[in-house]
Structure 1
Amino acid sequence: MSVISPVTSDVSSLNSEPAGKVRPRGILHSIGSWSAYVVLLLAAVSALIMIVAPMATGSQTYTVLTNSMAPKYAPGTFLVVKPTEFSSLRVGDVITFQIESGKPGVISHRITSVGSTQTGERVFTTKGDNNSLEDAATVQEVQIKGKLLYAVPYVGFAAHAVGEQRGKLLPIIAVGFISLGALSMVRGAVEKKRGKHEKDND
């Protein structure tokens, strides 16, 4: 007579997972959470660069549309230009100035030399980094909008599209960041409580 031992199941072994093994759901959840944080961080940095910092420094923003200052300031580069004392500008500074005094069109070029008119007025000769010749007309104080404070590549076209709405968008963005921060805190607390509950039930 053969002896057949009864088949038994170890309930604990069926319901538990090896130590150190991460559930697939947990991995996907972690990836999703980190992705959300990365997107939030990028949005915060973009808002700081494109809206908050220019407003805080009293600067104006422009978008490079031509290749005259390439490759360093290629088309699409976002420029933040701060009003600067005319007397403090020097050779090598990148300035934004009106192409014609009193006209809205502006250009951003580098100062290559400092001169004066017959009446003793201080003027600048400018040139695009990518141009072979200096600009034909000198630049007077009244034409200058400011000196380049910083530049960010690629994001200029997006900023240009937003345009004058940046001031109106700032409060909305601030409220959005506060809401997202609060939501993240609540979500983290809920997930922590859920994880503790699942651990107690294992």
Structure 2
Amino acid sequence: MYFANGRLSGSHGTAVGVAGSDAAKPVRSGWATAGQFLNLVVLVIAVFAALVLIVVPKATGSQTYTVLTNSMAPKYSPGTFMVMKPVSFDELMYGDIVTFQLHSGRPEVETHRIVGFGATQEGEKTLIIKGDNNGANDADPVRALQVKGKLFYAVPYVGFVANALGNADRDLWTKVAAAGLIGYGAIMIFRSVRRSRNRDTQAEAA
């Protein structure tokens, strides 16, 4: 009787162990699914960031700038990453946001909104500019040769990273970031395909 009870007890214990293992499978499967979803989200964000911050500006010949002051707040606060697309001076309209040289031929630029149009005594068309957060229009009108581009789109806060990289190395870091994002995307796709094949192999073996 004792031996029989021992066998019965051992058999029962084995059954419990198998049941516990089976119960753990859905948990592991759930974590795997969550991990795959997280990888997909990260991949989508990486691809979107590469397109918005690197690919599109390069493809459209746009220039990128970072807002440094509160003159365009609250919509375009300091740290906003702005992509300015080249545009014909005659295409500019009231309300457009433009980046322009403070003085023709010099590197210092500013980004404000067009609030009107004027002309020089010689008949040259000019822009009347104002910062959204400023109480008055800019003192000097802006000529066509000062305009660097019209706002294409803007991304909040990203400009802080661009400034940290520095103007001189920004192009290099842009290429490095593009390569890194593309490489990361390729790795995520490869891992996803490999996991899918492993699951198929395990299913066939079972």
Normalising by structure 1, what TM-score?
0.84
| 1:77 corresponds to 2:80 | yes
Mapping for residues 17-28 of structure 1, pairs under 5 Å? 23-28=26-31
Distance (whole Å) between structure 2 residues aligned to residue 53 and residue 119 of structure 1: 38
Determine the structure 2 residue equivalent to 1:57: 60
Residue 101 of structure 2 is aligned to residue 93 of structure 1 = no
The aligned counterpart of 2:161 is: 158
User: 1:191 and 1:19 mapped to 2: Cα distance?
Assistant: 17
Q: What's 1:107 paired with?
A: 110
The 2-side partners of 1:185 and 1:124 are apart by 55
| 2:46–2:181 contact (8 Å) kept in structure 1 | no
2:201 aligns with: 193
Post-superposition CA distance 1:134-185 (Å, at most 9, x none): 1011100010001000111121222334422214543453344233322321
State the 4+ residue runs in structure 1 displaced beyond 4 angstroms.
10-14, 17-22
Which digits, 9 at most, give the CA deviation of each residue in 1:3-44, with x for residues without a partner?
xx9573455564136999853333333333222222222111
Q: 1:38 to 1:116 in 2, by over 3 A?
A: same
User: Given the alignment, which residue of 178, 184, 188 partners 2:186?
Assistant: 178
CA change 1:121–1:20 in 2 (3 A) is farther
Taking the aligned partners of 2:21 and 2:28, their CA distance within structure 1 comes to 16
CA distance in structure 1 between the partners assigned to 2:115 and 2:28 by the alignment: 61
Structure showing the higher helix proportion among its residues: 2
Q: How many residues align?
A: 197
Is 1:39 matched with 2:46? no
Measured at CA, do residues 19 and 172 of structure 1 come closer, stay the same or move farther in structure 2, by a change above 3 Å?
closer
- The one-letter amino acid paired with 1:179 is I
8 Å contact 2:72–2:132 — kept in the other structure? Answer: yes
1:189: Cα distance to partner?
Answer: 1.8
**CA RMSD between the two structures:** 2.8
Kept after mapping to 1: 8 A contact 2:36/2:192: no
> Aligned pair in 2 of structure 1 residues 181, 141: CA closer, same or farther (>3 Å)?
same
Which consecutive unaligned segments of at least 5 residues does structure 1 have?
Answer: none
Instruction: State the alpha-carbon separation in 2 of the partners of residues 125 and 148 from structure 1.
Output: 16
- Quick one: which amino acid aligns to residue 129 of structure 2? T
- Candidates 139, 143, 166, aligned match of 2:146: 143
In structure 2, the gaps of 5 or more residues are none
The residue matched to 1:79 in structure 2 has which SS? strand
* Contact 2:93 2:114 survives alignment (8 Å): yes
Task: Give the TM-score of the pair, scaled to structure 2.
Answer: 0.83
Preserved contact between residue 50 and residue 159 of structure 1 (Cα < 8 Å): no
